[in-house]
Structure 1
């Protein structure tokens, strides 16, 4: 390979996340001048607004102008504010917690006890977070836990990709195969007129299979890192990472009573948040507030002054500005697509293509179509309210059960969640950890391919067994 080609390949794999999203924004803006515009009528059922099948009609084009292109970025920042502040406040709270030394001491104690048995750690952490993901307890808020994975990876002498995968893929292996999350599965089943969380037996088999495959993949990558085959090369923790400013001292550190008290307080507050998420539907806004509370409580337990807590918290926020604002850039893509009024045209075209297919081909087509649309509609619930009203009657016409149609939608958006450049959560995590999108793709594409094959197999089985409502 020539030197120029090597440099070109290197620059591609280190393309800045903001530059990548700006290019995507530009392509979407240009598409508003080319793609035919149209809309479905929409009807509100309770708190859910869905499209009306058969109501698609052409509307006046609304191409993105020069000023509108740049104001879309600001609008994206405003709409992404809840997650942006979650990222910032996570950095602030972790900076205060890191200053106490409690987290360092706990991680080193755990690593010393585990030795080189990273398989055990991968199984435990990935399994726990997958449960939280499949129940929808932690989805967008996974951002708050990724720095913990980075710190564990540092202590184990792994790399940033391993640290991110440990937490992020744990949550999304569960969320992508959700068995009881009202926000996506429950909403889709409600639109499809299926009993809430019906089909849980078969979905549990899918969930367990995905988690096992993910654990094996992360464990295999950990072994490669041990063999000095990290995708990140010699730069295991890229220097531009906000989260890596929180170092893990690799020397022996005493795990004191104060450390235990600080971590117990933090753990109880986070468990309380999880409980309130289930009982009171707490989400990102409440978690942002929780991290302010944790920072104050941890600081006081460590006998820090008010000024010291504030300065440390703000310094932690500053370290994650790069990772926070990327959420707004990703959200700006949705702003342009919605204002350009051509998303409905794409959905209508998909439904038209699927209608004449056989049941088997149609079910697989639903899965592939959902996966493709998720690059444009990065919200799972948003895709459900747009696509499910069309897929449900389409499934009836094609001889596919509605349960299979729902799962095709769930798995379709699920398999691309972790490679989707318009996902604010993914791009924020990559920015926080300093991993370029290209290198993440190099790590993630083989697992995405395995997830895709598994999804098609399970969908085909669903068609063959005529998977019904229960």
Structure 2
């Protein structure tokens, strides 16, 4: 039967979920004792890192009603030692929306999608592994995360036009890049920073992470392709079937069957693709981040508007309308970041980390690494930034591995896989909530879709970590 909301019940929106989490974390600041580690500057990481064994109780700072109300505002700009501000990501999202609005106004996207569907008819399913491989490559090499927000408005119409649903598009992007981050091989924002903080080189443990990446990617692709095939055969099997009409109306602007594809539209799509290529180059090799990427898409929107001869009035109108479409996404990003602001202001982040440090002392090797994995899972919920969690947890948890007789690089792998796993679903991640908002997939539908995959991946990861400990112990 088509999936519909139960009478009398409506699952809360992303805004309500995130604001509820802010209230929950604020309540915890009244219960969990306040404490902090001493911190020292690290030249290698460019940040202050906690010192193992230096935890001490500190004055409590419970968060009240005013702090809860201030958190969504402070979430945009309040500086935190181990993660970035949200305002840069939010502005990037708004400019991406404006850029897509300008390209859409040229008619090039609709024409390109129609022509692609004609060419790929009968072979649409192979888009899934190909695109997921590309996103996974970005995830495992340079931690592709916030950058994926630019792709949802592009891929969702393609997947809907191919006979799938918006959930397939979200899965291809979010799971593709997410599995790459989960199996981080040379990801500077995950394993490289974590290895530096743990006192090992990122090459140590590389082969295990490659194996994890390959196996988890294959399982995830099969999972997504199976769902996509079911939806294509029977659209009523879609978990967002009740949104089918509205999603088609939103993402497919032109319902005619005309496949005219003019030379000007082709040129616009070339410039469109070139913009993304330049973005990937800038992030992976040029040291770019949100400001540079935002400037790139702003410049590209102007160039495309001029090339397509939209005129000043239509260009500005298309850009502003496109940005307005993603305003809700930008607000969600700041709201998600407010959770971390409240937790840090209440001085409970280090207390949670200290409890983790104490809990693993004296455990056998296999139990130790599995408990480390689950500790990082819990910490990742509150600190969705992989680089932030690496700086926060590795200087504390990695030295404990020496006493357990476990190599530090295995702790790094446990951290990377746990952080990557949680960031596929956590509502505290701006990437997750922003991607779902752009793709118009309700959060509870995403959970309903992805939970069987999470179980499978968790079993794979726990088996891999336990096997690695066994291999180390074998003469």
- Give 1:255 deviation, angstroms: 2.0
Which residue in the other structure is 1:254 paired with?
A: 260
Does 2:15 match 1:7?
no
The one of 359, 363, 373 aligned to 1:367 = 373
Matches within 5 A, 1:370-449: 370-449=376-455
Per-residue CA deviations over 1:249-292 (Å, capped at 9, x if unaligned) read 45132222212211111222321222222222112221111111
- Give 1:248 deviation, angstroms: 5.2
- Give 1:238 deviation, angstroms: 4.9
Is the 1:136–1:181 Cα contact (8 Å) retained in structure 2?
yes
Which residue in the other structure is 2:20 paired with?
A: 23
Is the 2:275–2:297 Cα contact (8 Å) retained in structure 1?
no
SS at 1:341's partner residue?
Answer: coil
Is the 1:143–1:425 Cα contact (8 Å) retained in structure 2?
yes
Distance 1:189-1:248 versus aligned 2 partners, 3 A rule: farther
- Give 1:321 deviation, angstroms: 0.8
Does 2:327 match 1:296?
no
Matches within 5 A, 1:68-467: 68-78=67-77, 79-136=85-142, 138-226=144-232, 227=234, 228-236=236-244, 238=246, 244=250, 247=253, 249=255, 251-466=257-472
Mark the runs of 5 or more structure 2 residues left unpaired by the alignment.
Answer: 78-84
Distance 1:351-1:337 versus aligned 2 partners, 3 A rule: same
Is the 1:154–1:248 Cα contact (8 Å) retained in structure 2?
no
TM-score by length of 2: 0.93
Mark the runs of 5 or more structure 1 residues left unpaired by the alignment.
Answer: none
Per-residue CA deviations over 1:48-71 (Å, capped at 9, x if unaligned) read 321100001000100112222211
Is the 2:143–2:184 Cα contact (8 Å) retained in structure 1?
no
Is the 1:159–1:237 Cα contact (8 Å) retained in structure 2?
no
Is the 2:39–2:49 Cα contact (8 Å) retained in structure 1?
yes
Is the 1:135–1:180 Cα contact (8 Å) retained in structure 2?
yes
Q: Distance in 2 between matches of 1:262 and 1:149?
A: 17
Number of equivalenced pairs: 459
Per-residue CA deviations over 1:356-386 (Å, capped at 9, x if unaligned) read 2110011010111101111111111111111
Q: Distance in 1 between matches of 2:442 and 2:67?
A: 28
Which residue in the other structure is 1:64 paired with?
A: 63
SS at 2:41's partner residue?
Answer: strand
Q: Distance in 1 between matches of 2:167 and 2:256?
A: 19
Is the 1:84–1:328 Cα contact (8 Å) retained in structure 2?
yes
Q: Distance in 1 between matches of 2:389 and 2:335?
A: 20
Is the 2:181–2:416 Cα contact (8 Å) retained in structure 1?
no
Which residue in the other structure is 1:40 paired with?
A: 37
Distance 1:310-1:206 versus aligned 2 partners, 3 A rule: same
Q: Distance in 1 between matches of 2:186 and 2:436?
A: 28
Q: Distance in 2 between matches of 1:456 and 1:69?
A: 37
**Alpha-carbon RMSD:** 1.9
Q: Distance in 2 between matches of 1:67 and 1:302?
A: 49
Q: Distance in 2 between matches of 1:401 and 1:36?
A: 32
Per-residue CA deviations over 1:337-365 (Å, capped at 9, x if unaligned) read 00010111111111111112110011010
Is the 1:357–1:398 Cα contact (8 Å) retained in structure 2?
yes
Q: Distance in 2 between matches of 1:294 and 1:341?
A: 43
Is the 2:205–2:413 Cα contact (8 Å) retained in structure 1?
no
Is the 1:237–1:433 Cα contact (8 Å) retained in structure 2?
no
SS at 2:204's partner residue?
Answer: coil
Q: Distance in 2 between matches of 1:82 and 1:171?
A: 21
Which residue in the other structure is 2:82 paired with?
A: none
Is the 2:91–2:294 Cα contact (8 Å) retained in structure 1?
yes
Structure 1 segments of 4 or more deviating over 4 A? none
- Give 1:246 deviation, angstroms: 5.6
TM-score by length of 1: 0.94
Distance 1:184-1:467 versus aligned 2 partners, 3 A rule: farther
